[in-house]
A and B are shown apart, each in its own frame.
Chain A
Amino acid sequence: MNKRLLFFLLLAGAALPVLAHHSFSMFDETKEVVLKGVVKEFQWSNPHTWIQLNVTDESGKVVEWSIENGSPNLLGRQGWKRNTLKSGDQIQITINPLRDGQPGGSFVRAVLSDGRTLGRTAAPATPPATY
């Protein structure tokens, strides 16, 4: 983990993902990682949207992160549009990282370059552990 990229590992409480499509056990929902990068591609697609984010590490190497978010059917009803993010946008995104350390995670919230914030607002899709 490198400092230049503002990695913050936080205990995140009960932030459960929004997605009805699959189990999210591959993501560590107890951790949050903050990434600053440039949007390579925003895939407005089912069953999930994906943000491909280019993040430059301290050695100058660009790493592409895959960040999963809700479907267009879900996000569209929360006000997102297919042009909410565009290639080239500078953005800070908070994710629950993949447990296996690969450069990916599930979307928690984002701050756009103009200061607007995008957040997770829907009820959790994954049944609680007590289910």
Chain B
Amino acid sequence: MRDGRVVLVRMAGMAMAIAMLGTVPALAQVPGTKLKDGAVVPDMSGIWERIEGIRFNPAGQLPPYNAEYRRRYDQAMEARSRGERVADPTSSCLPQGMPRFMVASYPLEFLQTKGQVTIIAEWSSQVRRIFTDGRGHPPADEIDITFNGHSIGHWEGQVLVVDTTGIRGDTSFDASPMTHSDQLTVSERIYLKDPKTLVAELTVTDPGAFTAPWKVVRTYRRGGPDARIMEYVCEENNREIFLPGQNQPKP
């Protein structure tokens, strides 16, 4: 009798768990899946090549810097114009991190699987995992501070909406000396403009360095039949490890 009650309680618990599972939003991310709102998950899987150059903002403008970060940028540009090397973290093979990841120096590969959209960057074989299983970010005081941050996403119609936090303060935008603070977060709207054109609208927010959010739009063309992701191991033969005063390649 007692055992029977335990079984009943367990069965009730399982039923509740199953019912709760049904409320997890848009778990299935495989292209073609019909979402609750009737939208069909678009097929972004495959290889994408940047259309613009490797400056983070193809439109060219600087971020809306506050006075302190504008001063830092101007100082670095002055040093560069004097011929000094200005540290770019990637010179010592550190990852590009977010948001530079989305510059796609080399092509990106999108994978859409259940509960996750994965973006692989050829540059240093970096990976972004965008969790679309309904989870939130870890608490702000617990989240790991990483190069690519912690990304969660959901579909709004045909648009993949992504929010990324937990980004290190020393990631880069591009090879220029633009910097940011450790308060930087990125929100993205990623969608297909047509089957061969992917758009990422990035809104970069940084209360420590910017006076307003910075919106940057980047576009990518679908790789052709010969497109492939190549290996790229930056540490293989890097003669450019940046150290102040060390100014030439080793013979």
Contacts and interface: CB of A to CB of B under 8 A. Distances in A.
Interface in A26-55: 26, 43, 45-48, 50, 52
B85 A25 contact: yes
Contact of A131 (B55, B83, B231): B55
A46 B233 contact: yes
Range of interface residues on chain A? 20 to 34
Given A47-B93, A47-B238, A25 B86 contact: yes
B237 A68 contact: no
Interface in A79-131: 98-100, 102-104, 123, 125-127, 129, 131
B interface majority secondary structure: loop
A98 B90 CA distance: 20
Interface in B207-251: 230-234, 236-240, 242, 247-251
A49 to B, nearest CB: 8
B241 to A, nearest CB: 10
Nearest to B103: A20
5 contacts: A46-B231, A73-B106, A73-B230, A123-B53, A126-B175
Interface of A: 20-23, 25-26, 43, 45-48, 50, 52, 64, 66, 68, 71-74, 76, 98-100, 102-104, 123, 125-127, 129, 131
Given A22-B88, A26-B85, A125-B54, 9 more contacts: A23-B91, A46-B233, A46-B238, A52-B251, A66-B239, A66-B249, A98-B249, A99-B247, A127-B174
Interface of B: 53-55, 60, 77, 80-81, 83-86, 88, 90-91, 93, 105-106, 122-123, 174-176, 230-234, 236-240, 242, 247-251
